[in-house]
Amino acid sequence: MPRESGDYLSGIFIAEKSQLHLEARANYEAKHSQSAFLGWSFSGGETVQFKATPIVGFLWGSTHGVIGGLEASVAFKKFDYYIEAEYLDPHGAEPGYFYAWSELGYRPVEWLRLGLVAQRTRIYGGDRDLQRGGFFQVTVRKVTGSLYWFNPGSHAQIAILSLGISF
């Protein structure tokens, strides 16, 4: 829900089997565009747990091109960090672009996660190259609801409501 432009819906669908990672997105890198990815996950650790998934994919629709990226996370006790970074090499006259989303989270109880979030995107306007803010997540069984609030207190505020379902 960007303040300066119309609300829109974005979808992210992930399927993982063993180390294989498949992902499809709609309206994520650009409005009226879809993307599909293939990746391979590596994970490990006991006290400090980590997971890294290099991905490669394609974007088509209003913007199109080849995307390479990495999704990675690390967790220690009640703290965790997640980053999703990708580089879009578009076809045509547009220059390439680096997208990123990262979260630093704290889980005081199993069902609640709070933290800081930052992103770099072109999907909505604004003069901020890097947007940052906070988030609040609640998990009940296999459903997670989240509220992300970017640029709090500024004219360029953005709210993202997220619903995740695992099965």
d(Cα 16, Cα 140) in Å, to the nearest integer?
21
Give the SS3 label for residue 143. strand
Which pLDDT score, from 0 to 100, does residue 138 have? 98
Q: How do the pLDDT tens digits run along the chain, 167 residues long? A: 455 566 778 889 999 999 999 999 998 887 888 999 999 999 999 999 999 999 999 999 888 899 999 999 999 999 999 999 999 988 766 788 899 999 999 999 999 999 999 998 876 655 667 889 999 999 999 999 999 999 898 887 888 899 999 98
Q: Report the candidate in 88, 155, 97 with the shortest Cα–Cα distance to residue 126.
A: 155
The torsion defined by the Cα of 22, 37, 134 and 2, in degrees rounded to 10, comes to: -120
pTM score: 0.87
Residues 6+ apart with CB under 8 A from 158: 1, 2, 3, 124, 126, 131, 133, 148, 149, 150, 151
User: Where along the chain do its domains lie?
Assistant: 11-165
HSE-CB at 117 with a 13 A cutoff on CA atoms is: 20
